[in-house]
């Protein structure tokens, strides 16, 4: 691949296996494998560094919460990342939910100030299907001295979300499957079913090529965005249960469709529904319905 083609590939938020294979030996490339350690040890892209998804997440009661900045900064340094790096995130590609892990790490790296970022489309499954080389030995890299410069433009806090409720120029986007949005089921981290008041539902699943784990390209993402949101909002905030599915909506709307001012609420409903004082909700079942649903779940 010519140097100009390599530069073009490096600037893309999504790479196919062939493009990653061309880029993997470039000195600025840092391949970040976020699968569990045992999967990494069984075989990974040559040169990939192990940084399991859990190391980018928060505590069990609120997994979407960002870990302490000091911990994240040290992880970036140990991965040899700095502003000159091209970080390429590799997940398993097992299903479309798995893409949310790669998108969430991509979002975190961008929040920490890195700019040249990509995701391997289809993850390791796509790499393996392409018959490309793997290795089992753990890779290593010299640590960097990187100090994060936070990109707060892509982060929404609980206060930010509250401030946008009722604002006709803002859009709150619930990335969860419809049954979560309608309050028919809830995640264990949420204290109540339902969605944030005024939110619209855009399921994370709409962004994938049918029957595959590959996210669509930029042109198709723009078309999907136009279908669902014909008018551009001044502020778009994606959320879900714990900032995982929401990362896919954020990635598709911001990085692929190119909508302006797209943010993510990383703690999502694990935070919103457990606030000290109740916050506005829609599709919240009555107490009787909640008890009935809980009893039904015990027998399903």
Is residue 292 pLDDT above 90, yes or no?
no
Is residue 25 pLDDT above 90, yes or no?
yes
pLDDT at 9: 57
* Model pTM score: 0.93
Percent of the chain exceeding pLDDT 90 equals 91
Query: Which are the contacts of 111, defined by CB distance < 8 A and separation ≥ 6?
Result: 66, 150, 151, 152, 154, 155
- Identify the structural domains of the chain with CATH numbers, from first to last: 14-130 (3.40.250.10), 158-291 (3.40.250.10)
CB 172 within 8 A of CB 194: no
Residue 235 has φ and ψ, to the nearest 5°, of -150, 125
Q: How far is CA 287 from CA 192, 198, 290, in A?
A: 10, 21, 5
CB 181 within 8 A of CB 205: no
* Averaged pLDDT score across all residues of the chain: 93
* pLDDT class of 289 with cuts at 50, 70, 90: very low
- Strands 281-282 and 195-196, how do they pair? antiparallel
Question: E strands of the chain, at which residues?
Answer: 14-15, 29-33, 49-50, 86-90, 117-120, 170-174, 195-196, 200-201, 235-239, 262-264, 281-282
From the list 251, 210, 264, the residue with the least C-alpha distance to 100 is 251
Percent of the chain exceeding pLDDT 70 equals 92
| Helices assigned H by DSSP within 112-165 | 123-129, 158-164
CA distance 268 to 273: 9
Rounded (5°) CA angle 126-131-132: 85
Average pLDDT score over residue span 72-88 = 98
């Amino acid at each position: 691949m010519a140097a100009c083609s390599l530069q073009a590939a490096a600037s893309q938020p999504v790479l196919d296996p062939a493009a990653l294979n061309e880029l993997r030996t470039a000195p600025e490339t840092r391949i970040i494998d976020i699968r569990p350690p045992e999967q990494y040890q069984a075989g990974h892209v040559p040169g990939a560094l192990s940084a399991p998804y859990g190391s980018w997440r928060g505590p069990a009661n609120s997994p979407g919460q960002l870990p302490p900045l000091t911990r994240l900064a040290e992880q970036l340094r140990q991965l040899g990342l700095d502003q000159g790096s091209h970080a390429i995130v590799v997940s398993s590609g097992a299903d479309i939910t798995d893409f949310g892990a790669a998108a969430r790490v991509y979002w975190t790296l961008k929040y920490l100030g890195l700019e040249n970022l990509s995701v391997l489309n289809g993850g390791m499954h796509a790499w393996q299907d392409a018959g490309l080389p793997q290795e089992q030995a753990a890779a290593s890299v010299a640590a960097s001295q990187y100090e994060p410069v936070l990109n707060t433009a892509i982060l929404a806090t609980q206060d930010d979300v509250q401030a946008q409720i009722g604002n006709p120029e803002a859009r709150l986007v619930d990335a969860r499957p419809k049954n979560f949005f309608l309050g028919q089921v809830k995640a264990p981290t949420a204290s109540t079913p339902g969605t944030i008041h005024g939110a619209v539902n855009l399921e994370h699943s709409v962004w994938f090529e049918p029957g595959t784990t590959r996210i669509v390209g930029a042109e198709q993402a723009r078309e999907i965005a136009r279908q669902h949101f014909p008018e551009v909002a001044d502020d778009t905030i994606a959320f879900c249960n714990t900032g995982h599915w929401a990362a896919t909506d954020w990635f598709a709307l911001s990085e692929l469709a190119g909508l302006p001012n797209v943010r993510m609420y990383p703690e999502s409903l694990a935070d919103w529904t457990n606030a000290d004082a109740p916050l506005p909700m829609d599709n919240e079942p009555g107490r009787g319905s909640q008890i009935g649903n809980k009893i039904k779940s015990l027998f399903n």
